[in-house]
Amino acid sequence: MKSLLCAVGAALIALSTIVGSADASVVIAGTRVVFPAANGEVTVRLNNDGSQPALVEAWIDSGDPASTPDTANVPFLITPPLVRMNAGKGQSLRIVYTGQPLPKDRESLFWLNVLEIPPKPTAKPGEEQNTLQFAVRSRLKLFFRPPNLADEPNAAARQVTWKVVADGNGYALEVHNPTPYYITFSKLSLSVDNVSHMPGNGMVAPLSTLHLPVKDLARAPAAGTVVDYTTINDFGAATTYKGAISP
């Protein structure tokens, strides 16, 4: 039965990817999940804001968007993994860490998947039913946070450093993260010769460097050139900072 549901879910995901987007009735509280390792478990709240019941399947993967509950191999359990949610009702997902070893000096990143499968519509007597249904999958970052990490997560974004380096025929912006926390950028802006360059956004892993090509940047900016950047915190809120290009 589980394999059948997984196959149906995978097929519906593929349809929704090909045809377009669909509105989800099941809403997840929050835009990310922070899992303090010391707690051993966290709870994620779901609410069905639609007018019909929905079947919801949940699983966690380690970074593969094509994962299914059968293929994902992570040190977590979700209860319940499959649940029927009536219209207007809520449901809590309990995520438990199974204890398999993970790095103790930095965060680890996983992804929470919530797949909503709507009920099959019923045709009126004498009418033929022709419909195209969509399964909607939401995919949220799950940050597993070991205890006693250096610094505080709210201070991490202020500690990044910036450089501009040669990148083929152009230049790229490099941001180094010396902290044990993941830092997510929702907006980046670099102003050179009164022209604003937008390298895009991204996420830099703990103790790592993120490389972002800068389109149409004719020369490397001088040391001290301002970088405006916006990051997303544990609660999904955006905060804007100013940095400077290092020599």
Flag whether pLDDT at 220 surpasses 60. yes
Write out pLDDT tens, residues 157-191.
999 999 999 998 899 999 999 999 999 999 999 99
In this prediction, residue 162 carries a pLDDT of 97
Q: Given 3-state DSSP classes, what are the helix, strand and coil percentages for the chain, each rounded to the nearest 5? A: 10, 45, 45
C-alpha distances in Å from residue 2, one per residue of 8, 69, 82: 10, 9, 9
Report pLDDT for 8: 44
Length of the chain: 247
Mark residue 156 as left, alpha or beta (left: phi above 0; alpha: psi -120 to 50; beta: remaining): alpha
Of the candidates 115, 225, 114, the residue with the CA atom closest to the CA atom of residue 163: 225
Residue the block writes with tokens 């999904």:
236
Distance of alpha carbon 181 from alpha carbon 145, whole angstroms: 8
Tokens of 101: 């070893």
* 3-class DSSP state of 15: helix
Q: Say if residue 87's pLDDT is above 50.
A: yes
pLDDT at 1 over 50: no
pLDDT in tens, 100-150: 999 999 999 999 999 999 887 666 665 656 666 678 999 999 999 999 998
Strands 90-97 and 41-48: antiparallel
- Please give the average per-residue pLDDT across 205-221, as a whole number: 93
pLDDT at res. 151: 87
- Could you report the per-residue pLDDT of 7-54, keeping only the tens digit for each? 444 444 443 333 334 567 999 999 999 999 999 999 999 999 999 999
**Can you tell me the distance from the alpha carbon of 77 to that of 60, in angstroms, rounded to the nearest whole number?**
8
- Euclidean distance between CA atoms 115 and 135, whole angstroms: 7
Place of tokens 């994962």: 67
For the chain, list the domains and their CATH numbers.
2-145 (2.60.40.10), 153-244 (2.60.40.10)
Give the integer Cα–Cα distance in Å for 73 and 47: 27
pTM of the model: 0.85
pLDDT of 17 reads 37
Q: How far apart are the first and last CA of the chain?
A: 60
